[in-house]
Amino acid sequence: MELLLKIKNAEGLHARPAGILAKKAAEFQSNIQISVGGQVKSAKSIMALMSLGLKKDQEFKLIIDGPDADNASRILAELVNNEFKA
C-alpha cells in the first residue's frame, strides 16, 4: 500500500516530528518505509527520517506492507495531516 502525503507543518520533518512519526510507526507490525527523491528509508527510524530533510509542502510516499497496513496507513496519514500533533 502506498500513500502520497505532504508535510504541512512549517518546520518540516525536523527532530520532534520525526521522533513522533518514528515512534508511532514502530507501534505497527507492518514494514513502513518513506520514499522521496529516489531515497527509501525506514519510517521507524528517527535518524533515517531526519536524513531526508523534508521541508514544508514537500510530498513523499509512505509504503506500508504487513498485517496491520490498513490501520497503520490511516493513523500515520492522520498524524502527518494534523502536523504531528498527537
Give yes or no: 14 in active site. yes
DSSP type of residue 54: -
**Residue 86 pLDDT > 80, yes or no?**
no
The pLDDT tens digits for 31-72 are: 999 999 999 999 999 999 999 999 999 999 999 999 999 999
64 vs 11, residue with greater confidence: 64
| Count of C-beta atoms within a 10 Å radius of residue 18 | 23
- Indicate whether 84 pLDDT > 70: yes
> Which pLDDT score, from 0 to 100, does residue 57 have?
96
pLDDT of residue 85: 84
Q: What are 1's three cell numbers? A: 500500500
The SS3 assignment for 65 reads strand
Of the candidates 79, 76, 74, 63, the one whose C-alpha atom is nearest the C-alpha of residue 31 is: 63
Domains of the chain: 2-81 (3.30.1340.10)
Q: What percent of the chain has pLDDT over 70?
A: 99
Contacts of 70 (CB under 8 A, 6+ apart): 1
Q: Which of 3, 5, 14, 77 is catalytic?
A: 14
